[in-house]
Amino acid sequence: MATSPVLRLDSVSCWFGSVAALSSVNLAIAAGERVALVGPSGAGKSTLLSLLNGSLMPTEGEVWVLARSLNKLSGQSRRKLQRQIGTVYQQHNLVANLSVIHNVNAGHLGRWPLWKAVVSLIWPQQVLVAQQALTQLGLGDKLYARTERLSGGQQQRVALARVMVQNPAIVLADEPVASVDPARSHNVMQLLCDSVRQLGQDRTLVVSLHDVALAKAYCDRIIGLRQGQIQFDLPSAAVGEQQLTRLYALEDAA
Amino acid sequence: MQFYALCRRSVISGLCGFAFLFLGGCGAVDSGDGSSEGTDAAADTAADVSTASVEPLSIGAIPDQDPEMLQRLYSRLVDYLSAELGVPVEYEPVTDYAAAVTAFKVGDLDLVWFGGLTGVQARLQVPGAQAIVQRDIDESFHSIFIANTASGLEPIDDISGLKSLMGKTFTFGSESSTSGRLMPQFFLKEAGVALTDFKGEPGFSASHDATLKLVEAGSFDAGVVNEQVWLDRVAAGEVDEGKVLAIWQTPPYYNYYWLVNADKLNAEYGEGFTDKVQTALLNLNASDPQQAEILELFGAEKFIETENDNYAEIEAIGREIGKINE
Amino acid sequence: MLSDLPTSDPLDPQRVKSLDALPDSTRSHRRRLAVGLWIALVIWALWLSGLGRSPLINWAGLPLMGQFWAAMLRPDLTPEFVGMMARAAVTTLAFAVCGTVLSLGVGFVTGIFCSLVWWRVFWPGRSGRIVWLGLRGLLVIPRAIHELIWGLLLLGVLGLDPIVGVLAIAIPFGAITGKVFSEILDETPTGPLDALVNSGVNPGIAFLYGLLPQALPNLISYGFYRFECSLRSAAVLGVIGAGGVGYQIFLSLQSLRYEQLWTGFYVLIVLNGAVDFWSGWLRRQMGFVGRLDLAKGRETSQPLTNDTFKQKGRLVWLAWGAIALAVPLCFAYLEIDWSRWGRVRSLLAEMAAQVTPDRVLPQFSWSLLPLSLQTMAMSVLAITLAGLGGIVFSFPAAQNFFLPGGLLRSAGESRRWSVGHGAMLLARLLLLGARAIPAPIFALVILYGMFPSILPGALALGLHNFGILGRLMAEVNENLPDGPVRALRSLGASAGSLVFYGILPANLARFLAYGLYRWEVCLRETVIVGLVGAGGLGRLLTEQLSGFDYSGLAATLSVFIALTMLVDAISGWMRSAAR
């Protein structure tokens, strides 16, 4: 079992109208890997992550998560599988008007029955779990603050806490450092990696990044995407100038 | 030529209506003889009779029974009156008692078919207004108290029996209806029943038919309706007599009549015009098929004379109950 | 009363800022207080209605109610009657158009004079603010009085003429529009205005150049919504000689011709549906997200730039052309006799003679208090029912939830016709029917199956307003930013959890704002459901109107106005607490 990949794409293509966001992508990621997706804007990084968490369906091909085909499932079984994937979004996608505790507790929603979810809105459940996650991220005192009143960085950490509470097998992160200054971006990546490690050594992280240096520093495998295709898929150490120049080359130079 | 004009108008109105649905225009000029169009039709007919420069005689009515027949009733009557009187006549649709009284007061209605109370209200506000004609049945009109069979109320022999309504829910008809409110309230008072003696507040169903149905439904234990409506609905089989029964017929009183703004009309169309109107109405004859239809629609065998003094009692009761504040 | 439109509150920047300054604990304290107060109000209203102390449902009357609903399937479709209804529909439409145009005109002017920013520019300081407060207070008077009562009052002054129907819409709706427009003006960024004023430009011109162009598109957007309201109102006004569908419906109602009634309802449903659809389409074409984009704040609405106009192209221009054509046509169609203004003064003086202090003051009595409480209770129950129903139905009625690919569907489903489509269609039809059918008719039908109390009245008003709120709330849902909800869904949350963790938290404040705005409307509408045997002040008003007791009427109306002010104040406070 250890050898079967947790994430697998079988010749996946994804079209938006007449534009191919991804074409015939094959990919396998094993448990415990930390993978960075790099590439220029519009290369298909976000599309790939959306396919992996099931918010997008491929036009062709199949997406396998934990050895089950995501696009063949629906309803309850699909949700059950989705619980195993946590996502940190670029826009955080938190519910602004809820207090922090509820946004963190939203990580439980895949497991909680509806009544418990509703009750928790009035009497927050599993406060300790949320408290612990927030404390680790340095937000222990913001448990009952309104989410919309936190700073962008704080909101990102709430989103991270939501993922930790969700406790998934796979964590996806979409451009977590896109709007953060260089000094802070190390901080964010460190938190992200620490959080995933905290969950367990077998947890997988897939993160899309612009900054290859960051990718090399925090991930053990880098996938270069360009125009919807995988340009290279190498261990971090093996990625050099040559690959990067080709990856980021402007259109006419390519 | 006329036909052509008519076609063109309908085409315009059709196009405009169409344009509205898609673009937000609004239906436009339309010919026809529908609701307010009844007026047009009347004016058209009248134009044949008299010159267009004469202000039309405006007639109106407060619908109290079978009001959806108003349209038919009044276009017949408009035709008849304009032919008889030699002036254009138009019918103004008003369905609210207070609105009709107000319209009469400000001079927008010249000849109105009023109920007893509303007629007095209108007459007191217009100097020289005269009650001229009423139906044969209006001389001794009755209201019928009705009750739901499950309410335990029984038919009563005399007015004091109304006391059995105490502690029951009760509904009147329209607030200013003579037969559905004023006279019943008066008789209740005579019997020593105050409005506060009912269970809860009395309802005001707005029409006799609604009263009938609400009592039949049992929502109210009892109610009161105009006798004409009651008999009519019973005859038509529209009343479930297993559920609603008549418990008492009131003593007779004067009701509906034609009230005319005599001073205004005499000034406008010449002295004696009011008499002409009265004669025209009195002349309605059941042997003429057209006129018979008018009489039938009014539910009358014939029209008879009446006068202001006949309504002194209603006026007194109206003041007592607070419906007349002049 | 944004019956209209939550502009004022949800986006009032000042208010938002001042609230943001409050610590969280104070805010949640206030919110808890507001919720507690509302629950207390509802319990009190239910107690007053006699719930639990007397039988509620009249089982024996249900068959009669059934007769009404059965007629739904067999409306009167005889050609003459349908033709009559179609012509009546044109009349109703003409009234709605004329009423809307006038009310927008009135609203534009009063809106400017009732905006704080106007007084701030023209009369800075305390005294300007006091004048502003006074004007805002005066604006309650026309709003508090129902269109039907305006109609009857105007009839006494202007006589039997279509102008009465038009003004009966234009006066109260003009005041409502004025209130909303003044709020729009006050929320418009004042940077450009201040820049002009500070550079020595005449304040009037500065206003014209710096503020109005920014605010006008919002007024236009709101105007379309007003048009929908005017249409519903025109349908009720038929009774006072205004003709149209309302007149036909009330004739049929009096003799209980259910088949004819339903023909009328279908005409109103088609008319309302067409107008709603068209106004929604045009607004979207002009770059407004919905009626509610005012509520959402300016970030979502794009002002009418030349670019958007060019893009949306000819259809929009054509629509504007049609409007420009339709307005004079409608005025011409109604054949308004403008010469009637000549006699207004004498008739008004006659009416005013009865309304002198020495005649009115004795009319105030403690007996007005229980009636006021009844009215209040009925409005509270009505708006609670309408709000709860509206929230529930706003989900299936919104396009973005249950349709395939919607937020509450899992992504793996097929995209063909589905239960979601059916549910949306059904929910929308139900809402449309509820708002198209006038409340007094609901009141009569409900009364067949219930015993008289304020409850049938509240139910009837609740049902009608539910149709309006449900639609507004569905639009709120449709404009929900979907990121957070999709995020929750992709972590495997069920549809139910999405509602409670993603959608309601984001939209509830807006739902409440709509509901609270609508509360004032429910209060005013209690006047038209007086037949339920517990009509409160509304019943007294109709009694006084039918007895031409103007001094009594004046007293009752003042109480009604005071009640409206109270409701206005409570709802304002609650809306700010709900944020």
pLDDT at C462: 96
Residue B164 sits at the chain C interface (C-beta within 8 Å) = no
Q: Cα distance from C422 to chain A (closest Cα, Å)?
A: 19
- Token pair in block for residue C567: 């409701």
Q: Residue C432: which pLDDT band, with cuts at 50, 70 and 90?
A: very high
Do residues C100 and C207 share a domain?
A: yes
Q: Cα distance from C36 to chain A (closest Cα, Å)?
A: 14
Residue B207 falls within a domain, yes or no?
yes
Partners of residue C326 in chain B, C-beta under 8 Å: 16, 19-20, 24-26, 28
Do residues C559 and C499 share a domain?
A: yes
Do residues B155 and B245 share a domain?
A: yes
Average pLDDT, chain C: 82
At residue B227, the 3 state secondary structure works out as helix
pLDDT at B317: 94
Q: Is the pLDDT of residue C13 over 60?
A: no
Can you tell me the mean pLDDT for C72-91? 89
Do residues C273 and C412 share a domain?
A: no
Residue B283 falls within a domain, yes or no?
yes
- Comparing C386 with C251, the larger pLDDT belongs to C386
Residue C21 sits at the chain A interface (C-beta within 8 Å) = no
pLDDT at A1: 42
| Amino acid, single-letter form, for residue C113 | F
Do residues C274 and C140 share a domain?
A: yes
What is the number of domains present in chain B? 2
Chains B and A touch (3+ CB pairs under 8 A): no
What is the number of domains present in chain C? 2
> Considering only B158-162, C25-29, C571-575, which range has the smallest mean pLDDT?
C25-29
Residue B135 falls within a domain, yes or no?
yes
Do residues C286 and C387 share a domain?
A: no
CA dihedral C26, C28, C34, C38 (to 10 degrees): -160
Do residues B73 and B130 share a domain?
A: yes
Partners of residue C440 in chain B, C-beta under 8 Å: 206
Do residues B231 and B161 share a domain?
A: yes
Nearest to C378 by CA among C460, C458, C466: C458
Residue C495 falls within a domain, yes or no?
yes
- ipTM for the complex shown: 0.81
Can you tell me the mean pLDDT for B65-74? 65
Q: Cα distance from A240 to chain C (closest Cα, Å)?
A: 35
Angle at alpha carbon of residue C465, lines to C463 and C470, rounded to 5°: 95
Q: Residue B191: which pLDDT band, with cuts at 50, 70 and 90?
A: very high
**How many C-alpha atoms does A126 have within 13 Å on its Cβ side?**
19
Q: Residue B34: which pLDDT band, with cuts at 50, 70 and 90?
A: very low
Residue B147 falls within a domain, yes or no?
yes
Nearest to C97 by CA among C19, C52, C162: C162
Do residues B236 and B287 share a domain?
A: no
Residue B6 falls within a domain, yes or no?
no
Do residues C130 and C264 share a domain?
A: yes
The Cα–Cα gap between A22 and B219 comes to 69
Do residues C408 and C511 share a domain?
A: yes
> pLDDT for C171-224, tens place per residue?
999 999 998 888 888 888 887 787 777 776 777 777 877 788 778 878 888 888
- Comparing C294 with B94, the larger pLDDT belongs to B94
Residue B17 falls within a domain, yes or no?
no
Residue A151 sits at the chain C interface (C-beta within 8 Å) = no
Do residues B38 and B71 share a domain?
A: yes
Nearest to A218 by CA among A197, A198, A232, A202: A197
- Token pair in block for residue A85: 């994937």
| Amino acid, single-letter form, for residue C466 | F
Most confident of A237-241, B135-139, C8-12, C197-201: B135-139
| Amino acid, single-letter form, for residue C486 | R
Nearest to C490 by CA among A110, A111, A196, A115: A110
Do residues C284 and C395 share a domain?
A: no
Q: Which residue from C minimizes the CA distance to B239?
A: C64
The Cα–Cα gap between A191 and A205 comes to 12
CATH assignment at residue C463: 1.10.3720.10
Question: Of the residues B209, B224, B249, which one is the last residue of a structural domain?
Answer: B249
Do residues B233 and B264 share a domain?
A: no
Residue C27 falls within a domain, yes or no?
no
Partners of residue A106 in chain C, C-beta under 8 Å: 488, 491, 493, 501
Supply the pTM of this predicted model.
Answer: 0.82
User: Which residues form the domain of C469?
Assistant: 378-578
| Pair C165, C337: CB distance under 8 Å | no
Question: Of the residues B217, B249, B281, which one is the last residue of a structural domain?
Answer: B249
Q: Which residue from B minimizes the CA distance to C329?
A: B28
The Cα–Cα gap between C441 and C449 comes to 13
- Order of strands, sheet of A60-65, starting from the edge strand that comes earlier in the sequence: A19-29, A7-16, A60-65, A68-69
Residue C33 falls within a domain, yes or no?
no
Q: Going by C-beta distance under 8 Å and a sequence separation of 6 or more, which residues neighbour residue C470?
A: C389, C390, C393, C394, C397, C427, C431, C434
> pLDDT for A86-108, tens place per residue?
888 888 888 877 889 988 988 88
Query: Count of A–C CB contacts within 8 Å?
Result: 105
Q: Which of residues 2-31 of B touch C (CB under 8 A)?
A: 13, 16-17, 19-30
User: Which residues form the domain of B50?
Assistant: 32-139+255-321
Partners of residue C256 in chain B, C-beta under 8 Å: 207, 209-210, 213
Q: Answer whether C58 sits within 8 Å of B219, measured CB to CB.
A: yes
pLDDT at C24: 66
Q: Which residue from A minimizes the CA distance to C407?
A: A55
pLDDT at C557: 92
Query: Count of B–C CB contacts within 8 Å?
Result: 239
Residue C20 falls within a domain, yes or no?
no
Can you tell me the mean pLDDT for C531-542? 79
Partners of residue C496 in chain A, C-beta under 8 Å: 114, 117
Do residues C316 and C395 share a domain?
A: no
Residue C356 falls within a domain, yes or no?
no
Do residues B126 and B259 share a domain?
A: yes
Q: How far is CA C445 from the centre of its chain?
A: 23
Can you tell me the mean pLDDT for C374-397? 94
Q: Is the pLDDT of residue A142 over 70?
A: yes
Partners of residue A90 in chain C, C-beta under 8 Å: none
The Cα–Cα gap between C463 and C484 comes to 32
pLDDT at C313: 67
Residue B9 falls within a domain, yes or no?
no
pLDDT at B4: 41
Most confident of B241-245, C126-130, C315-319, C479-483: B241-245
pLDDT at B18: 41
Q: Quick one: CA dihedral A219, A220, A224, A230, positive or negative?
A: negative
The Cα–Cα gap between A206 and A221 comes to 10
pLDDT at A173: 92
Q: Is the pLDDT of residue C28 over 90?
A: no
At residue B204, the 3 state secondary structure works out as strand
Do residues B315 and B170 share a domain?
A: no
Give the residue carrying structure tokens 């097929």: C414
Do residues C338 and C447 share a domain?
A: no
Can you tell me the mean pLDDT for C24-34? 80
Partners of residue A86 in chain C, C-beta under 8 Å: 491
Residue C4 falls within a domain, yes or no?
no
The CA R_g of chain A, rounded to the nearest whole Å, is: 18
Q: Is the pLDDT of residue C50 over 70?
A: yes
Do residues B296 and B210 share a domain?
A: no
CATH assignment at residue B202: 3.40.190.10
Average pLDDT, chain A: 86
Tell me the H-state helices in C139-257: 140-144, 147-158, 162-187, 191-198, 203-206, 212-237, 244-254
Residue B160 falls within a domain, yes or no?
yes
Do residues C432 and C523 share a domain?
A: yes
> pLDDT for A219-238, tens place per residue?
999 999 988 889 899 998 88
Q: Is the pLDDT of residue B80 over 50?
A: yes
Question: Of the residues B221, B249, B277, which one is the last residue of a structural domain?
Answer: B249
Do residues B301 and B155 share a domain?
A: no
Q: Going by C-beta distance under 8 Å and a sequence separation of 6 or more, which residues neighbour residue A46?
A: A90, A174, A175, A208
Can you tell me the mean pLDDT for C298-323? 60
pLDDT at B161: 92
> Considering only A2-16, B224-238, C440-454, which range has the smallest mean pLDDT?
A2-16
Average pLDDT, chain B: 82
Q: Residue B63: which pLDDT band, with cuts at 50, 70 and 90?
A: low
| Pair C3, C390: CB distance under 8 Å | no
Q: Which residues pair with A208 in a beta bridge?
A: A37, A174
Residue C65 falls within a domain, yes or no?
no
Nearest to B65 by CA among B180, B170, B185: B180
pLDDT at C405: 67
The Cα–Cα gap between B219 and B203 comes to 10
